[in-house]
Copies of this chain bind each other. A is one copy, B any other.
């Protein structure tokens, strides 16, 4: 039976353009650059429309990797999926997480049993502008999630613990192109198209994984927030017109020394969910270690948002009315503080904008642990 091994490398960065940590691991042989499948990063911008640290980081990584993978800088993104989440508010620490995948022969990993971390990638066809934020995007995303599960050799939706999606947004050019063909885009605003695209993509995950049983239609997007996926994490960007889907889960086909689990935060102070996510991969709180030292935390991935109803467990929050700090920055800082405290490390991936990703005001939280011995 064909087996794959997935590697996960969390690398601290000194700035959005810093690639020295990655290059060191490549030069030392710890990372084979040709095995890199995806890089998820936290960059120290504001996470908003004018956050250029994300594209700067991707640009620097592409320029750094180009000599190793025989592709010009502008084509590196065809090979590797980059997802940069801006905003390291509070204690959050800028870093990247590099995912690699290689084929292995069975005998290489005799001591590891059970399902292990697996990663799969797929993408949708290009969308028409008028399809964004609507059923077409939901359905195509669902198909791509299924394809990425197959790529990861995961059959059971229960084994899927985090689905990271990059999705398009609308620009005025794209809106006009639709209008020119007699079609109406879901919104004329670039900013709110990001929420529509994130929301429809998350609903696509929920459909693929059977988290929603009923039919999902256009009018549910950004309206019925009771419909959500417990493992979706979506972010929109201007540079593409299709969805890129990264599925992370556990598979019997994986010989990886890593394991992944998840829970769902029902609100921004849901410490129980974070503890559950840590426990699901055998870790206890406070220091990211396990009682018997056989496991250690590799990273946590979570989504955060200010609860739309303006309160948390009955007490008013002020995130949505603050003219000086955007609500997404507030939410990342608070949830980042909680998760860092429970994980015992501040280099965690907490991303903002959680439409249909977990319940309103909450969001998914996944943990990856490394099994050092058994």
Show the binding face of A for B, using Cβ within 8 Å.
Answer: 12, 14-17, 44-53, 55-56, 59-60, 63, 73, 88-95, 268-272, 274-275, 285-286, 311-313, 315-319, 321-326, 329-331, 333-338, 340-342, 344-347
Q: Are B56 and A52 in contact (CB under 8 A)?
A: yes
Q: Is the CB of A17 within 8 A of B56?
A: yes
Identify which of A60, A93, A311 gathers the most chain B CB atoms within 10 Å of its CB: A93
Judged by DSSP, the binding face of A is loop
Min CB–CB distance A156 → chain B (angstroms): 30
Name the CB-closest residue of B to A43: B52
What is the oligomeric copy number?
4
Question: Smallest distance from the beta carbon of A185 to chain B beta carbons, Å?
Answer: 18
Are B44 and A91 closer than 8 Å at their CB atoms?
A: no
Q: Contacts A46-B323, A46-B324, A59-B17 given; indicate if A286 touches B312 (C-beta within 8 A).
A: no
CB atoms of B12 and A316 under 8 A apart: yes
20 A–B pairs (Cβ distance < 8 Å), ordered by A:
A47-B323, A49-B323, A50-B324, A52-B52, A52-B53, A59-B59, A89-B333, A90-B330, A91-B268, A91-B312, A91-B319, A94-B318, A95-B315, A268-B340, A269-B337, A271-B285, A323-B326, A324-B324, A333-B333, A336-B337
Q: Please determine whether B52 and A318 come into contact, CB atoms closer than 8 angstroms.
A: no
Neighbour of A337 across the interface among B17, B324, B337, CB < 8 A? B337
In Å, the complex CA distance between A41 and B203 comes to 42
Q: Are A322 and B50 in contact (CB under 8 A)?
A: yes
In Å, the complex CA distance between A56 and B271 comes to: 34
Q: Which residues of B contact A45 (CB under 8 A)?
A: 52
